[in-house]
Chains A and B, each alone.
Chain A
Amino acid sequence: MNSLIKLELARAMRNRKFLFFSVIYPSVLFLLISSTSDTTTKVDGTGLTLPTYMMVSMASFGALTAVLMGNSERIAKERESGWVRQLRLTTLPGRGYVLAKTASAAVVSLPSIVVVFVCAATLKDVRLDAWQWGALTAAIWAGSLVFAALGVAIGYLADGDAVRPITMITYFGLSILGGLWWPTATFPAWLRGIAEWAPTHAYAALGQAIEQSQAPHAKDIAILVAFFALFTGGAAWLYRKDTLKA
C-alpha cells in the first residue's frame, strides 16, 4: 500500500492547479481578508484579533480544500475509468485505495496549514506560544480527517459530471457556514444557530480555543466525532455498494 501512497503523492505534487488551490490560495485569502483590518481590533466575543482569528479559519479552509477536493473528484473519476476495478485485481486490500488517497491528501494538507501560519506570523504579527503553534497544527491536521471521509463518501456517491457541482456546493456551503471566510459573529442570529452545528464550525472552533489558551470545547469535539462517524459510515456503505455493483 505504501507504493500506492507514494505514487498518489508524487502525482499530487505534480498537479500545479491542485497545489495552488490547496496550498497557496488559503494564504492569499488570509492576507487579503486580514489586510482589511488593523492588527488590534478584536473579533466579537472571542478576544482574538482578526488576523489571529482568520489564521485558524484559513488554515482550516486550506486543509479542507486539500482533503475534500483531493478525494471526491479523483475517486469518482477513477471509479468511472475502471482503475478502481483494476486495483481490485491486485493484492491491495479493499480499503487500501481509500486509505492511500486519504494519506496523500493529508500530506498535502499539512503544508497548506503551515504556509498560512508562516504568513500570519511573519506578515501579520500573530504571536502565540510554541505549544499553541504545535497544538494548532495537530488539531487542524487531525480534524481534516473528518472532511477526508466526506470526500471519499462523495466520490463513491456521485458519478462523472455530478461530482464537481456536488463537491463545490458542499465545499462552499461548509466553508461559509463554518465561518471560515467571515466570523460567524457577523451572521444573523438564525444562521448563527444553524452554523453552530456545522462540522466546519466545530473544526475552526478547535483552533480558536487553542488560540484562547483553552481546551477545545466538548461540544465541538462531540460534533466532529459524530460527523466523522457519519461520513466514514456513509463512505463504507457506499464503497460496499459500489464494489458489489462493479
Chain B
Amino acid sequence: MTVMTTQTAPAVGFDQVSKSFGNVKAVDGLTLSLRPGETVALLGPNGAGKSTTLDLLLGLKQPDSGAVRVFGVTAREAIVAGRVGAMLQSGGLMDEVTVAELVGLACALHPKPYKASDVMARAGIAQIASRKVNKLSGGQAQRVRFALATAGDSDLIVLDEPTTGMDVTARQAFWATMREQADQGRTVLFATHYLEEADAIADRVLVLHRGRLLADGTAAEIKAKAGARRISFDLEGEIDERALRELPFLTALDVSGHTVRIQSADADATVHALYGLGLYPRNLEVAGLGLEQAFVAITAAEEAKTK
C-alpha cells in the first residue's frame, strides 16, 4: 500500500505553500506538482522566490502554511532514503580538503552511492581531484557542487542557479552533463533567470513572480508569452486608435502625442499588418522585452484574464 503511494506520488508536490520574511511574502500560496522524469525549469527574475521555493522543497525552510511533499514523504525522509540530490546557490564547501576527499565524503554519505572517480569524471572535475577546495575558480566550485548533488543514484536532482559564475563554454558543457542526468530518467528541477537556459533544457517551465506561479507550460509556450516584443513608431496626422487596436498579436497599446507604443506576441505579423493599414510609421523600432518586463506583461495578461 505504502509502496503504491510512493510510486504514484508526484516527485514534488506543493499544496498552498506560503512563506513570509517579515512583511515580504517570498512564496505566496504556491501549488504545483512535478511528475517523475520531468525536467523542469523554475524561471523568474531575482527576488521572485525561486531560492525560497527550493529551500522549502528541500526542507531547509519550513512553510508558514501549506504542505510540501517529495515522493509523497517529507523532504528529510526523501533525503535520508537517498532519493534527492541537491546543489544550492553558492552553497558553501568544506575548505582545506581536496576535491576528491569532498566528493568521497558525499559518496560515503549517500545510501546508493556511485564511485567517487566516476562522479568526478561525469562532473568534469577529474583533473582537479587533488586540488584544495578553497583554491577553485567559481566555475570549478560549481562543478564540485554539482558532483556533490550527483554522488549517488538519486531520483530527483535540484539545482539552484547552477551555472552562476560559469563562462559560455563551461555553461554548455554543464548543460550537456545535466541532460545526461535527465536522460537517465531522473526528475530534474533547476532554478534560473535565463529564459534561454529554460528553453534549451526543460520540458516544462514554471514561471515564478513575487512568490506566485505565473505560468506553467512548455518552454515554447512560455517563450511565446514572455517573448513579447515592443514596437514603437511615430505617425503623422490623426491617429486612429481603433484601427491600431485591431492589429494582430497586439497585447498592449499606448498612444501619446504622435508616438505609438505596442506590445506584440508576434512583432513580424503586427508590423506587416501595420503597413497593410496603409500607414507610414516613422522611426520604427522593434525590441525584445527583458525577462523582467516580459513577466510584467504576463502578469498584466493574467490579470486581464481574471477580470
A14 CA / B134 CA spacing, docked (Å): 14
Q: What is the minimal beta-carbon distance from B110 to any residue of chain A, in angstroms?
A: 7
**Is B38 an interface residue when CB atoms closer than 8 A count as contact?**
no
Partner of A78, one of B62, B80, B92, B101: B92
A89 touches B88 (CB 8 A): yes
A83 touches B97 (CB 8 A): no
Partner of B80, one of A10, A81, A91: A91
- Label chain A's interface by main secondary structure: helix
Q: What 1/0 flags go to A75-97 for Cβ under 8 Å of B? A: 00010111111101111100000
Which residues does chain A contribute within 8 Å of B58, judged by CB atoms? 89
CB contact list, A224-246 vs B, under 8 A = 244, 246
Partner of A86, one of B82, B92, B110: B92
A199 CA / B117 CA spacing, docked (Å): 48
A91 CA / B61 CA spacing, docked (Å): 17
Q: What 1/0 flags go to A158-199 for Cβ under 8 Å of B? A: 000000000000000000000000000000000000000000
CB contact list, B116-175 vs A, under 8 A = 145, 148
**Is B90 an interface residue when CB atoms closer than 8 A count as contact?**
yes
**Is B91 an interface residue when CB atoms closer than 8 A count as contact?**
yes
B97 touches A7 (CB 8 A): yes
A82 touches B60 (CB 8 A): no
Which residues does chain A contribute within 8 Å of B101, judged by CB atoms? 7, 10
CB contact list, A63-120 vs B, under 8 A = 78, 80-86, 88-92
B93 touches A86 (CB 8 A): yes
**Is B108 an interface residue when CB atoms closer than 8 A count as contact?**
yes
Q: What 1/0 flags go to A14-34 for Cβ under 8 Å of B? A: 110000000000000000000
Q: What is the minimal beta-carbon distance from A156 to any residue of chain B, in angstroms?
A: 16
**Is A219 an interface residue when CB atoms closer than 8 A count as contact?**
no
A residues sitting closer than 8 Å to B (CB atoms) are 3-4, 7, 10-11, 14-15, 78, 80-86, 88-92, 244, 246
Q: List 10 A-B contacts (CB under 8 A).
A: A3-B105, A4-B105, A4-B109, A7-B97, A10-B97, A82-B88, A82-B90, A83-B92, A84-B92, A90-B79
The 8 closest A-B pairs by CB, nearest first: A81-B92, A82-B92, A3-B108, A83-B92, A90-B109, A86-B91, A82-B91, A89-B86
